[in-house]
Chain A
Amino acid sequence: MSAPFTRCVLQSKFNLIDVIQANRVFQAVVVNHTTRERHVHATTRAFSSKDGEDKKYSSDPSTNQESKGKHDGKKSKSDLADLLGSMKVTTNTDGTGASEQKPSKKLKLAHPPPKTKAARMEAGVFTEKKHEPSNLKDVKDWILEPQLLSAVRKVAESLPGDTQNTESELITKLRDHSAATAGAKSDVNLSSLFVGMKIDREAPKRRSRQPSRDDVTDRPDAERRPGFGRSLVPTRPTRKLYPKVEERKEIDLFGASPLNIFKVPETPEERVSEEWDIWEEYNNRALKDAVTYSPANAFVEQIQWTECGKLWPFPIDNQIGLEEEENVGFHEHVFLDHLLADFPKRGPVRHFMELVINGLSKNPYMTVAEKREHVDWFRRYFEAKEEVIHSAIEVA
């Protein structure tokens, strides 16, 4: 559990809420703006309600805010939480543990006013005289306050898992926290982190922004709120850490045990649809339409025109669209004498019809059926007018 926390601390300052949440130890403290010391207003986050024990540690924001002024005599465990949370963070630019605290950038976290003077003396987590944060070899030499140690032990006992492990993790964490702040790189300077956090002000401020580079400079008017889940941190609710690529577990997509409902076919034959499925046809058309967009260049436009029939397809074929005529041989167009079988063999009618047939055979614009219909019309006409023609011939 400590490893992610440590990494978080050394990571970008924007993951502060991750830091606090992952640690599961919070305290809501209140900013006192009137003094030049920066205070941190860290929001309390509720524990996941799965863990029953964690409920003990969920500090009520309202009660903690009230603790600014009064000690409400809570149980020791909430005091423990207070103690763990009340960490003093100093920026020591020279890298050594300063014996006196620099007032300008000191963070004084609010804590319940101690009952006795002795307790007041020991209220700090680390007294600066005693630790050398820059030299990590001396970590073991850091003397932790006995109250803190007992508190840590109590926490470790009440949390699930290995007590020893948890205890050591908590202690390492607290030490690392201090080590990181005291002379670590400036851009992971926890004090600047806290500087960048939300500061309560009487005047309402509407702006919520990321902590940015001007937090390093000491500007008394800098009113900044952390914009968690905003631009520089992606918009995911920051309740989880982003997984590192190197650490990810590979999932074999097709390696799980299958459902085994279906029989595997012996031969991977193609599916043959017995009936013509009109639904499939409509579906395929819908699929094709789903990827048809406005043409991206002239060639795609010409493809679309060709497919809907507007543009002549290449190679140019003059008979395109006139396919039925291909099946009709030229002899049916040209040799039409057989159509005159019903007509009289001589006479003006025959003469006339031969001329008609002659003309039709040279006509490329009519279909065969039309030509036959033409001749049929004449046949019907002459049959109707038979008497008239005969009388005319006799007269002549």
Chain B
Amino acid sequence: MAAPMWLLVSRSAASAIGNTHRRIATTAACCKVQAGRYKITLKQNKPLTYEQAHPPFQIGVCKSWNSWNTSNLCDAPRASDTLYEDMFIRKFMAGTWHGIFVSEVIIKRRHNAVYVSGVVQRRLHARKLYFLVGYTEEILARFLKCIVKVEVQSVGDRRDVVFKYI
């Protein structure tokens, strides 16, 4: 895990503006891992879901994956395409279902179909949520050229999915 650039630049180089010399880093690397971790707030009021509260090394231990597919088997095709499509789906859900999902979008691929799941809050009327479901299914199917099924569960209050406050 590469540390950001600013940690590697030495102090002398930082002060010299327009200096074309490159130097070897001489300070110690921080080797700090930041992925999937949230900064503690002063007031201790930032809510975290169960999934957010556990750092990534807990995946497979007390947390599971958000994206299930067979692209990392030996000689499995389309690993990058699958990843790209997953990114696309997540961005699409974040935009279309704005503020409605209270969990991560879970994507499972089975046979020819993509199953998109998650937990939503009951902010909108069920009618409107059904409209969004139908729309998402159809339009993602047309993008990805395969079957897309959206399965959501609802929760009354978004505080119900909060695991801890930091």
Contacts from A to B (Cβ < 8 Å): 305, 310-312
Contacts from B to A (Cβ < 8 Å): 111-113, 141, 146-147
Q: What 8 A-B pairs have minimum CB-CB distances, sorted nearest first?
A: A312-B112, A310-B147, A311-B112, A305-B147, A311-B147, A312-B111, A311-B111, A311-B113
CB of B109 to closest CB in A, whole Å: 13
How far is A305 from B113 in the complex, measured between Cα atoms in Å?
A: 10
Return chain B residues, CB-CB under 8 Å to A310.
112, 141, 146-147
CB of A309 to closest CB in B, whole Å: 11
Return chain A residues, CB-CB under 8 Å to B147.
305, 310-311
How far is A312 from B147 in the complex, measured between Cα atoms in Å?
A: 10
Q: In this complex, what residue of B is CB-closest to A316?
A: B111
Q: In this complex, what residue of A is CB-closest to B146?
A: A310
Q: In this complex, what residue of A is CB-closest to B145?
A: A310
CB of A310 to closest CB in B, whole Å: 5
CB of B143 to closest CB in A, whole Å: 14
Return chain A residues, CB-CB under 8 Å to B111.
311-312
How far is A345 from B113 in the complex, measured between Cα atoms in Å?
A: 54
CB of A316 to closest CB in B, whole Å: 9
Contacts A310-B147, A311-B112 aside, 9 further interface pairs with beta carbons under 8 A come to A305-B147, A310-B112, A310-B141, A310-B146, A311-B111, A311-B113, A311-B147, A312-B111, A312-B112
How far is A311 from B141 in the complex, measured between Cα atoms in Å?
A: 12
Q: In this complex, what residue of B is CB-closest to A298?
A: B149
- Most chain A CB within 10 A, of B112, B113, B141, B146, is at B112
Return chain B residues, CB-CB under 8 Å to A311.
111-113, 147
A and B contact pairs by CB, cutoff 8 A, 11 listed? A305-B147, A310-B112, A310-B141, A310-B146, A310-B147, A311-B111, A311-B112, A311-B113, A311-B147, A312-B111, A312-B112
Return chain B residues, CB-CB under 8 Å to A305.
147
CB of A353 to closest CB in B, whole Å: 33
CB of A250 to closest CB in B, whole Å: 52
How far is A310 from B111 in the complex, measured between Cα atoms in Å?
A: 11
CB of B138 to closest CB in A, whole Å: 11
Return chain A residues, CB-CB under 8 Å to B113.
311
Q: In this complex, what residue of A is CB-closest to B148?
A: A310
How far is A310 from B65 in the complex, measured between Cα atoms in Å?
A: 27
CB of A74 to closest CB in B, whole Å: 68
How far is A310 from B140 in the complex, measured between Cα atoms in Å?
A: 13
How far is A343 from B147 in the complex, measured between Cα atoms in Å?
A: 50
Q: In this complex, what residue of B is CB-closest to A301?
A: B149
CB of B156 to closest CB in A, whole Å: 28
Return chain A residues, CB-CB under 8 Å to B146.
310
How far is A311 from B110 in the complex, measured between Cα atoms in Å?
A: 11
Q: In this complex, what residue of A is CB-closest to B149?
A: A301
CB of A345 to closest CB in B, whole Å: 43
Return chain A residues, CB-CB under 8 Å to B112.
310-312
CB of B52 to closest CB in A, whole Å: 32
CB of B32 to closest CB in A, whole Å: 46
CB of A85 to closest CB in B, whole Å: 61
Q: In this complex, what residue of A is CB-closest to B141?
A: A310
How far is A311 from B112 in the complex, measured between Cα atoms in Å?
A: 6
Q: In this complex, what residue of B is CB-closest to A313?
A: B112
Q: In this complex, what residue of B is CB-closest to A311?
A: B112
How far is A114 from B147 in the complex, measured between Cα atoms in Å?
A: 90
Return chain A residues, CB-CB under 8 Å to B141.
310
CB of B136 to closest CB in A, whole Å: 16
How far is A264 from B112 in the complex, measured between Cα atoms in Å?
A: 53
How far is A242 from B147 in the complex, measured between Cα atoms in Å?
A: 55
CB of B47 to closest CB in A, whole Å: 35
CB of B117 to closest CB in A, whole Å: 15
How far is A312 from B145 in the complex, measured between Cα atoms in Å?
A: 12
Return chain B residues, CB-CB under 8 Å to A312.
111-112
How far is A305 from B110 in the complex, measured between Cα atoms in Å?
A: 14
How far is A182 from B101 in the complex, measured between Cα atoms in Å?
A: 76
How far is A305 from B149 in the complex, measured between Cα atoms in Å?
A: 12
Q: In this complex, what residue of B is CB-closest to A312?
A: B112
Q: In this complex, what residue of B is CB-closest to A310?
A: B147
CB of A302 to closest CB in B, whole Å: 9
CB of A79 to closest CB in B, whole Å: 70
